[in-house]
Amino acid sequence: MQLLIINGPNLNLLGKREPEIYGSQSFEEYFELLKGKFLEVELSYFQSNFEGALIDKIHEVGFSYDGIIINAGGLTHTSVSLADALGGVTTPAVEVHISNIHAREEFRKHSFLTPKCKGMICGLGLKGYELAVQWFLK
């Protein structure tokens, strides 16, 4: 099974940015732990602060991978193009958010991606990525 985790803008700052919301662990550190937990899965990781790069990556894997786990960061709430990219491929996606987007600012409560995803996990910290991998395995 091949799964790709995609993180969007500012998620490269995990471990440094607002640790009271996002925690103190970098995603790279967490990703190594995640790979060690799921040896039966080929996990890949891609992060970009650029919307077009995220869309290109979805197009690249969207007909060959078994799943996409996506945390689009702030683009979740603004990008119709990113939603269209997820809707235009056959690979299923699960949306993940580290914080509870429904308990934050009003503009964060809407996601353009949710209708294009099989489900959404939010508010459970980095554990949400692990839960998404488990969902794909079942």
**Beta strands 42-47 and 119-122, pairing class:** unpaired
Identify the pLDDT of residue 19: 81
Q: What is the DSSP string of the chain?
A: -EEEEEE-TTGGGTTTS-HHHH-SS-HHHHHHHHHHH-TTSEEEEEE-S-HHHHHHHHHHHTTTSSEEEEE-GGGGGT-HHHHHHHHTSSS-EEEEESS-GGGS-GGGG--SSGGGSSEEEESSTTHHHHHHHHHHH-
Q: What is the mean pLDDT of residues 96-108?
A: 85
Q: What burial class does residue 134 get, using C-beta atoms within 10 Å of its C-beta: 0-12 exposed, 13-18 middle, 19+ buried?
A: exposed
Asked if residue 77 belongs to a known ligand binding site, the reply is yes
Domain assignments of the chain as residue spans, ordered by start = 2-137
For 38-95, write each residue's pLDDT tens digit.
999 999 999 999 999 999 999 999 999 999 999 999 999 999 999 999 999 999 999 9
CB 25 within 8 A of CB 126: yes
Q: Check pLDDT > 80 for residue 103.
A: no
CB 8 within 8 A of CB 50: no
Asked if residue 108 belongs to a known ligand binding site, the reply is yes
Give the CATH architecture of domain 2-137. 3-Layer(aba) Sandwich (3.40)
Q: What is the mean pLDDT of residues 27-47?
A: 97
Catalytic (active site) residue 102 = no
Asked if residue 99 belongs to a known ligand binding site, the reply is yes
Identify the pLDDT of residue 123: 94
Catalytic residue among 22, 30, 45, 129: 22
